[in-house]
Structure 1
Amino acid sequence: MSELGARASGQGRIFQTTGDQYVQEHHHHYSADTVPLFAGEAGPYAGGSRPAAPDSVRIPLIGRPPRLLRDRAELCQALGTAVAGHGGEIHVVHGMGGCGKTALAYWLFTEAVREHRRVGFWVNASERMSLRAGMLAVAGDRGASSGELAAAAAGQRAAADLAWHYLGGSAEPWLLVLDNADDPSILEDGAWLRASGRGIVLVTTRHATSPLWHAPGTHRHALGVLPLDDAAQVLCDLAPEAGDLRSARKVAARLDGLPLALTLAGSHLSRQLLESWSMDEYARKPDEESTTIVDRGAGGYGGTQSRHLVGGTWQLSLDALAGQGLPEATTVLRLLSFLAADPVPLSLLAPLARAEIAVAGLEPELSPERLEAALRGLLDHSLAELVETDGVRCVKAHGVLLDSVASGTSHRQRSVLGEVAVRLLEEALPERGTQTPLARRALVLLAPHGSRLLETAPGERSAALGVRLVRQVYETADYGVAMVLSRAVADRAGALLGEDHPVTLDARDVVGRALFRMGHYEESEAVHRQVLARRQAMLGPDHPDTLRSCAGLHRPLDLLDRDEEAEHWLRRAIEGMRRVLGDDSPETLYTWTSLPEVLSQLGKERECDAELALLIPACERALPAAHPTLVMAHHMQAYALWQFGRFAEAEPVARRVLEDRMRILGPDNRFTFAARGLLAEIVYGLGHRGEAMELMTRVVEEHERVLGPEHPSVSHYSAALARYRTEDATP
């Protein structure tokens, strides 16, 4: 190690400065566009690009806006007073699924924007990925730079802190809606829910009892079903020709005043073509055998288990669609019930329309040419709605409705539909290594559906799909989400298939990698050792997956200052990959770039020179000039030469690396920062103190701007700059 004690400035390493200060510089190894970490895996995306985010958080994610709100006057007054005030409050609206929470949030959003000149933000809080993507988009709207957003998405900067920093500094007052926060732990992770004097926060949730709702400045509002007269008026609003208020009271009573059921019934009555039921006739249709459901969302969180006749309501609409020649609508709705209640991209269903996925054994059958008509029928009867999210047209059905439909699907139909749903998601997921903004948006949209399929269609295929999904989440550098999701998938796969199954081991491998990226080095080491032992026993010592585990294990060991062990496992990985994958394999070359760093940290100068003499020509022979692996090889060459004090040899290499980083990744990328910091150290070693201070000053300023003043990198580079100044002032 050098006198400064800096571990690699190129590849996220531990730094130790003079005194007792311990600083960690957490970088990531490659642009996601082209660099493999292991078979087919692209490295973390280039930090110069922004993480996947919705096209707009200024528009509510709701299909058909509600016409009127009935029996909500008192609550509307309380919330309206809040958005008319100064801010600093959190309002939580809780109630069972289908009771109109999102409709109320839409009303308040419109009121705040139109009447009180607040900036409105709407974020889907049902899943970690959608929450993080939405909140980072809010930060970008309030002024966060692309570099700051990339650092937050990659785990280098606390994402929630960044979002709330910019919300707190907003020049305009705002309203932030966190819709469908039915799992409050998602908000608690990273402290996404906070109060700010610049704005009002509205949370909608089925969860009535979370401790989060009892924080200072938080106001809870229970939202229940509608009183009978108001429920009847809703039906008259939707279907005024179907009957009078007295008849509407009968239907409303059968539907328990649940707004979702009322909307379905009113939409059905208003859209009849072949029949013209009155409300009295409609009230007689649902009988004692109608499907009832339990609102598991509310009940599971301590609420009362209320039963609602949603099943009978939607079944009447489906019967009407069948009478209009659209029996396929039932099959489409059953298929949607295997997916999450989040927006489903229409492109996910496109292979059915193009007959690319054949479907057999369904009743009613679903022919390709009838799919669009069936979807339009569901939209017309309000059984689904068309929404646009992340610039993608989607179809969305209510979770209570989907639960009801799922409970009424036979076992045989579930088997067929589950397989179809898995195949559709397999086709829809982006190709491995595709890290375009469009691909990242698609991944955010598809992630909740992959998680849902592990529950609705459990098996090896859905588990493998879940692993593929979390690996791709990891590849986008959203390591916090990847860590949580991969653990859930691994546990589910282990329960379904056993801990020694290759799919389970693949999931555990992602867990180990995500733990490393999040700085949990001891835990990462333990997971990698477990996976390595099982892969070696099951697959043999030279299987590519076993070798990838060797490479994965070396990383936490290196960060734990166990360099000799790190060298052992890294050499085993490289030697095995050269035999199995070939000397010129991109994966072999990528893994090889880590070796000069480890050897230089061990002071093995002769061995390091020998490896570089082989590595650099191999990369130049096999890779394009701008390939990130080649750039990293040169970066590690400059780093090793600096570690050995060979500053004159290191300088031209370091300058070339900085130029390449600037050209390929842009000025706000962490690799660009690292390249500039390394060059500063090298030119300082050459005695060019003025240039070194200029370079290091810029590095400190850029790190502070992008990563925040509390980030360890800022402390490390600030200490280096202070040392320059102190030594420059010394006679």
Structure 2
Amino acid sequence: MSELGARASGQGRIFQTSGDQYIQEHHHHYDAGAAPLFGTEPQSRPTAPAGPDSVRVPLVGRPPGILRDRTELRRVLGAALAGPGGDAHVVHGMGGCGKTALAHWLFTDAVRAHGRVGFWVNASERMSLRAGMLAVAGDRGATTGELAAAAAGQRAAADLVWHYLDSSADPWFLVLDNADDPSVLEDGAWLRTSPRGLVLVTTRHATSPLWQGPGMTRHSLGLLPLDDAAQVLCDLAPDAGDLESARKVADRLGRLPLALTLAGSHLAHQLLESWSMDEYDRKLDEESTAIVDRGAAGYGSGQSRHLVGRTWQLSLDTLAGQGLPEATTLMRLLSFLAADPVPLSLLAPVARGEVTADGLEPALTPGQLEPALRGLLDHSLAELVAVDGARCVRAHGVLLDGVAAGVPETQRAALAEAAAGLLEAALPASGTEPEERRRRLALLAPHAAELLAAAPGERAATVTVRVVRELFDAGEFAGALEVAPGVADRAETLLGTQHPVAMVAREVEADALWRMGRYAESETLHRRLLGRRELVLGSDHPDTLRSCYGLHSALMFLKGAGEAEPVLRRALEGQRRVLGEDAEETLYSWAALLELLPQLGKGQELEREAEALIDACERFLPPDHRTTVNARHNYAWGLHMTGRDAEAEPLVQRVLADRIRIHGPDHPQALSALTLKAQVAQGLGRTEEAVATLREVIERSERVLGPEHPFIAQDRGWLADWQAEAAP
């Protein structure tokens, strides 16, 4: 018994000290009757953990028959294999991107083409790494006693292994596969370099300090090019379709090698069904990329990392084990958005505490957002990208599908509400610079559309339609048309065709069709929407009158001013009666009348209406309001149409400057003003100036509206005529 009253029994020990001491004990447990290891007393050898069945064969399940692409990386690493060695290469990338497949190819090449002894060690856990590396030492000549002592902790295991690797008579190639948790490598004790060999590490962890040490070279592994991705499918399922069909499926699967492998294996091994690649592509439309899990059991080792829907859970589990369970919450939140880049500014309100994400488990608090995001980046679950100068985070679509499929039902409503709140908070403020406004809305639009698809509800529909409406108003007509039809379909399915939000969604689609030159489709949709609003809201409701305005726009280009005028006058008269003479919508419709009058031969009426309208705009609207600019723009165009180019020119210069300041130089309405400048110059006999200006318009408009837009075809016709006129 000690002076402190403690009592030891059996093989226990009591230590007592009056100062700071460092005491270390090793306890070794032996089986009776075994041969002695040290001395002559009967005792057993220390028992090492069971090692792998082989370290000379890559135990990777089902390796690819052909490794597609990776040409540059294979060249670099192949050159390293052909050299003397002495360095280590770290290949990092997201789960499923083909790191192990590349390592398998290099392993085979090292053994067959370069005469190296190949070693393959599973570095996913401490036990498997330790057992595998001790087996490597045994292969290189370590004695049973040495291995047993290392296994028992009587000597440093890593030092033993690397002693024998450094002393190897044969050059070697060592693969440390799946080193997704760098702490397993014990601060680099297990990861070293040797003049006798070459080391290759595969990992999802992109930023560990271990990868930046002496002799270390990092290589990022991304997705396959589309043609190579399609060829992977054809390699696995040659009878399921041609290369063009395979391209469609490969693109839908995000060119991710793991997803391609599982999909190709499924197509090649169907028993009760026999889908072609085209049919598989249609199924992806219906069921999302989680379908690649179907039939996957039996291919590969059966571990969770081999199933695309669950492969990234290992990384999330690792992050949770490191004290970051919030990374799972953040990943789930991202799964309610699109696979497109997500602006960091969209997430920033959570970090600042301006938007709360209530009801999430684990909670995503302001202080935890940054570490959670950093964890996703470190483990290659996401990457930082720059889009038009905006810093964004991007996760792979198949990863997001897999995460979304595993979201607990109890969390879906809270995640949807949080995503909707973030999108709403991310909408640009009214004073945002035009180009910045357009860029931010273009980044938000796909995420709003995906939210409505992932979590259909009135809140999501309202936010999504607002994003698309603002995108259109910012002049992103092509972008709005890209998402508006799908958003309108979902809103109608969710809320019904007569719900106000669903009708606004259809209105945006109809307006975008008109702006993109698809006038007949726009007219059809506007007529249908007008009838619906008349039935539900009545003839004089502001939304109904706005539908009249939209219909007139399509009719003007499709059937002429004569067809458009009565519809516009109905809108204008109704707005004057319901909203008042000074309402913004009333003045906006009035401005459109100036565009019709010259085409109707009412030039004298044009000047009277223009003067009254511009005076009203200047009295009732803020300075430089878009409606005031529209009024001046349409008046200048009317002056040109009636042969009064000298009067139009100073007004055109003012309108062009206003359009650029308010909308930005590449906004379609700014380009329209530039076109009018060219027309006025031509009308004044300055053909050389007119030709140069119109060439600029055509070049810039093609980028904004596309080369097939009717406006551009018209501009090309004018350009040809003016050039012919100027020719000697």
TM-score normalised by length of structure 2:
0.57
* 1:100 lines up with 2:97 in the alignment: yes
Q: Decide which of 546, 561, 573 is 2:544's aligned counterpart.
A: 546
Counterpart residue identity of residue 129, structure 2: A
In structure 2, distance between residues paired with 1:248 and 1:539: 79
Would the aligned equivalents of 2:553 and 2:564 in 1 still touch at CA under 8 Å? yes
Q: What's the Cα RMSD here? A: 4.6
Cα offsets for 1:354-384 (capped at 9, x unmatched): 3333333333233333332333333444444
Per the alignment, residue 331 of structure 1 pairs with 329
Aligned-residue offset at 1:244: 5.9
The question of whether the paired residues in 1 share the 8 Å contact of 2:633 and 2:673 is answered with no
Query: How far apart, CA to CA, are the structure 2 residues paired with 1:234 and 1:656?
Result: 76
CA distance in structure 2 between the partners assigned to 1:627 and 1:361 by the alignment: 43
Matched-pair contact (CA < 8 Å) for 1:425–1:446: yes
CA deviations over 1:461-494 (Å, ceiling 9, x no partner): 2222222222233234333332231111111112
Give yes or no for contact 1:435–1:476 (8 Å, CA) kept in 2.
no
Whether 2:362 is the aligned partner of 1:364: answer: yes
Shift in Å, 1:272: 8.4
Could you tell me whether the CA contact under 8 Å between 1:419 and 1:457 is conserved in 2?
no
Structure 2 residue aligned with 1:655: 650
Correspondence 1:496 to 2:494:
yes
Contact 1:385/1:395 (8 A) holds in 2: yes
Alignment of 1:502-651 (within 5 A): 502-623=500-621, 626-644=624-642, 647=644, 651=646
* Cα 1:317/1:485, change in 2 over 3 Å: closer
Helix, strand or coil for the counterpart of 1:618? helix
**Aligned length, in residue pairs:** 490
Deviation at 1:264, TM superposition (A): 10
- Among candidates 268, 271, 279, match of residue 181 of structure 2: 268
Q: Shift in Å at residue 610 of structure 1?
A: 3.7
Q: Distance in 2 between matches of 1:680 and 1:655?
A: 11
Structure 1's 312 and 572: CA in aligned 2 closer, same or farther, altered over 3 A? closer
Secondary structure of the 1:100 match is coil
* 1:456 corresponding residue in structure 2: 454
Query: Matches of 2:389 and 2:648 in 1, distance apart?
Result: 43
Percent identity over paired residues: 44
C-alpha deviations, 1:377-407, integer Å up to 9, x for none? 3344444444444333333334343333322
Measure, in 2, the Cα distance between the counterparts of 1:540 and 1:320: 59
Per-residue deviation at 1:661?
1.5
CA distance in 1, matches of 2:135, 2:615: 81
- Contact (CA 8 Å) 2:416, 2:460: kept in 1 or not? no
Q: Using the TM superposition, give the Cα deviation of residue 703 of structure 1 relative to its aligned residue in structure 2, in angstroms.
A: 4.4
| Aligned positions of 1:297-336 closer than 5 A | 300-301=280-281, 305=294, 306=296, 309-310=304-305, 314-336=312-334
3-state SS, counterpart of residue 242 of structure 1: helix
Shift of 1:662: 4.8
Describe how 1:681-700 pairs up with structure 2 within 5 A.
682-683=683-684, 691-700=685-694
Structure 1 unaligned blocks of 5 or more: 1-69, 84-96, 105-222, 250-261, 279-292, 684-690
Name 1:466's counterpart in structure 2.
Answer: 464
Mapped to 1, the partners of 2:723 and 2:378 lie a distance apart of 68
CA gap of 1:313–1:273, structure 2 versus 1, over 3 A, is farther
The answer to whether the 8 Å contact 2:124/2:180 transfers is no
Amino acid at match of 1:679: V
SS of the residue aligned with 2:339? coil
Post-superposition CA distance 1:127-167 (Å, at most 9, x none): xxxxxxxxxxxxxxxxxxxxxxxxxxxxxxxxxxxxxxxxx
Higher relative contact order by CA 8 Å / sep ≥ 6: 1 or 2?
Answer: 1
- Please state how far the C-alpha of 1:449 moved relative to its aligned partner: 1.9
Which residue does the alignment assign to 1:480?
478
CA contact (8 A) 1:271 1:380 kept: no
Number of the residue aligned with 1:411: 409
Query: For 1:317-357, what per-residue CA distance to the aligned partner results, in whole angstroms no more than 9, with x for missing partners?
Result: 44444444333333222222222233333322222233333
How big is the shift at 1:229?
6.5
C-alpha distance in 2 between matches for 1:232 and 1:575: 84
Q: Against the structure 1 CA distance between its residues 74 and 332, is the aligned structure 2 distance closer, same or farther, given a 3 Å change threshold?
A: closer
Q: Deviations over 1:532-570 (max 9, x none)?
A: 111222222232222211111101111123423311121
* Residue pair 2:125, 2:184 contacting (<8 A) in 1 also: no
> 1:175 aligns to what?
none
CA distance in 1, matches of 2:494, 2:74: 51
- 1:717 maps to 718
In 2: Cα distance, 1:574 partner to 1:368 partner: 50
Measure the CA separation in 2 of the matches of 1:597 and 1:435.
28
Report what 1:242 is aligned to: 129
In 2, the alpha carbon distance for the partners of 1:77 and 1:417 equals: 38
8 Å CA contact 2:598, 2:606 repeated in 1: yes
Is the contact made by 1:264 and 1:383 (CA closer than 8 Å) also made in structure 2? no
Which AA in structure 2 matches 1:437? Answer: E
CA deviation string 1:566-607 (max 9, x = no partner): 111211222233344443334332321110221221123454
Which letter maps to 2:97? G
Question: Unmatched 5+ residue regions in structure 2?
Answer: 1-62, 77-93, 109-117, 137-174, 192-257, 267-279, 284-291, 298-302
Q: CA deviation at 1:530?
A: 0.9
The CA distance in 2 between the partners of 1:371 and 1:393, in whole Å, is 16
Tell me the residue number matched to 1:675.
Answer: 676
How far apart are the structure 2 equivalents of 1:513 and 1:232?
A: 64
Q: Distance in 2 between matches of 1:723 and 1:406?
A: 61
1:354 is the counterpart of 2:314: no
| 666-675 or 226-235: bigger deviation | 226-235
Q: Which amino acid aligns with 1:652?
A: E
Give 1:100's aligned amino acid: C
Contact 1:550 1:569 in 2 (8 A): yes
- Distance in 1 (CA, whole Å) between partners of 2:491 and 2:127 is 52
Aligned pairs for 1:24-39 within 5 A: none
Moved more, 449-458 or 360-369: 360-369
- Cα deviation for residue 242 of structure 1 reads 2.9
CA contact (8 A) 2:95 2:380 kept: no
Mapped to 1, the partners of 2:176 and 2:469 lie a distance apart of 40
C-alpha separation in 1, matches of 2:510 and 2:176: 47
Q: Secondary structure at the match of 2:582?
A: coil
Match of 2:397 in 1: 399
Q: Deviations over 1:220-278 (max 9, x none)?
A: xxx999679689958559999934658999xxxxxxxxxxxx9995223546899x999
In structure 1, how many angstroms separate the alpha carbons of the residues matched to 2:631 and 2:432?
23
* Cα-to-partner distance string for 1:183-238 (whole Å, 9 max, x where unaligned): xxxxxxxxxxxxxxxxxxxxxxxxxxxxxxxxxxxxxxxx9996796899585599
